[in-house]
Amino acid sequence: MLLLVLGTAAGGGIPQWNCACPGCAWARVHPHWRRRHASLAVHTGEGRWYLVNATPDIGDQIEARPELHPGPGPRQTPIAGVILTDAELDHTLGIARLREATGLQVRATAPVRQALLERLRLGAVLAPYTSVTWRELPARGAEPLDREAGGLQISGIPVSGKRPRYAADAPDDEAWVVALRLYDPASGASALYAPALAAWPDRLQQAAAEADCVIADGTFWDDEEPRRTGISAHTATGMGHLPIEGPGGTADRLASLSARCLYTHLNNTNPLVDPAAPQHKRLARLGIEVAQDGMVIEL
Ligand code: MLT
Ligand code: MN
Ligand code: ZN
C-alpha cells in the first residue's frame, strides 16, 4: 500500500489567510512551517490514485506531486476519484475545483452525500461542468475501492455524529464522520485515516488495534488550547476534536497501539506547528510521529 500525505493542517491551513497568531506569522516567513489542508492520495494501481478528502488546496496539492500530474492524453488524469471522511468544508470544497474533470467519482457515507447534495447543492452546481458519480462508502464490511485496478478494499468506520456547521440541524447519524480503513488483501496491510475524532468509539479502537498505520486527528494539543489562544469560546472537545494530551486525550491511546501512528489535521494554534516545540519530544517518547506534507507512507 502506498500513501502520499498531501497536507496536514486543519481548516484554514498554516498560515491561515486572516490569522496573525505566532504559528501563522512564522509560517509566512519560514516555508518549512507551512502546512496545506489535511489530505492523502492512495495508490490503487499503475497510474491510478484516489484522493482522501478534497481540500481548498487541492490544485496546489496535485501540482506538488508528479505522480498526480496529467498525461499522456491531453486531459488524462491519474486521479480516479475522491473518498470523503466527512462533509466539513476543509475536506469537501476541493470537489468544485475538480469540475474540469471528464467525470468524477466521489465515495461518501449517506449523510455526507446528502449534506453535499442538499445543503451545498454540489450535484446541481457541478452538473453543467462534469458528471459526478456518487458511490456509497460502506460503514459496515469492506468493498473494493477501484474496480479497474488493484484489490485495495475500503470501509468507513463510524466515528461520530458531528455535523458541519452548515448542516447543524440535519438528522443525527453515526456516519457523519468516519475513519477510513484501507486494506490491501495482497500484503495484508491496513491503514486507518481518521482526521476528525470527536469520539473514540469501541469499533474505532478495534480497527486501530488491527491496523499497521493510524493517521489521527491532531487538531489541538490540549483541551483548553482554543480558549487559551482566543480562537474559540469552546474547548477542543467542544469543537469536536479530542485533544492529543490530557484526560481523554488520544496520545495515550495511540501509544498503546502496535501500529505506526501519526498526527495530522493540525490547527495553526497547535504548538506542534513549531518544528522545535518540546511537544515533539514528548510524542517521540511515546513513539508517535507528526505527519509532514509530502511524506510517503509505504505499508
Ligand atoms: C473541523 O475540523 O472542525 C472543521 O473543519 C472546522 C471548519 O469548518 O473549518
Ligand atoms: Mn477540519
Ligand atoms: Zn494562526
Ligand nearest to the CA of 164: 1
Ligand nearest to the CA of 168: 1
Atom of ligand 1 lying closest to residue 265 CA: 2
Q: Domain containing 217 — which CATH number? A: 3.60.15.10
Measured in Å, residue 16 CA sits from the centre of ligand 2 at 13
Can you give the pLDDT at residue 139? 87
Can you give the pLDDT at residue 168? 98
CA nearest ligand 1 atom 7, residue: 11
CA nearest ligand 1 atom 9, residue: 11
Pocket test for ligand 1, best of 14, 17, 39, 90 (most atoms within 8 A of CB): 90
Measured in Å, residue 246 CA sits from the centre of ligand 1 at 22
Q: Are 28 and 129 in contact (CB under 8 A)?
A: no
Can you give the pLDDT at residue 262? 99
Count how many domains the chain has. Answer: 1
**Domain coverage including residue 36:** 2-298
Measured in Å, residue 269 CA sits from the centre of ligand 3 at 6
Closest CA to 5 of 156, 137, 193, 182: 193
Atom of ligand 1 lying closest to residue 12 CA: 9
Grid coordinates of 284:
517521540
Ligand nearest to the CA of 198: 1
**Contact residues of ligand 1, CB 6 A cut-off:** 10-11, 88-90, 196, 239-240
Neighbours of ion ligand 2 (CB under 5 A): 10-11, 88, 90
Ligand nearest to the CA of 33: 3
Can you give the pLDDT at residue 147? 86
Atom of ligand 1 lying closest to residue 89 CA: 8
Measured in Å, residue 231 CA sits from the centre of ligand 3 at 9
Does the model's pTM come out above 0.95?
Answer: yes
Q: Are 196 and 241 in contact (CB under 8 A)?
A: yes
Closest CA to 255 of 289, 279, 206: 289
Measured in Å, residue 186 CA sits from the centre of ligand 1 at 35
Measured in Å, residue 62 CA sits from the centre of ligand 3 at 24
Atom of ligand 1 lying closest to residue 90 CA: 5
Can you give the pLDDT at residue 240? 97
Measured in Å, residue 23 CA sits from the centre of ligand 3 at 5
Residue 28 Cα distances to 81, 217, 266, 277, angstroms: 32, 24, 16, 18
The series of mean pLDDT values per 10 residues for the chain, 299 residues long, is 98 97 96 98 96 98 98 97 98 98 97 98 98 95 88 97 98 97 96 98 98 99 97 97 96 98 98 97 98 98
Can you give the pLDDT at residue 208? 98
Can you give the pLDDT at residue 140? 82
Can you give the pLDDT at residue 242? 98
Residue 149 CB partners (closer than 8 Å, separation 6+)? 44, 45, 46, 48, 80
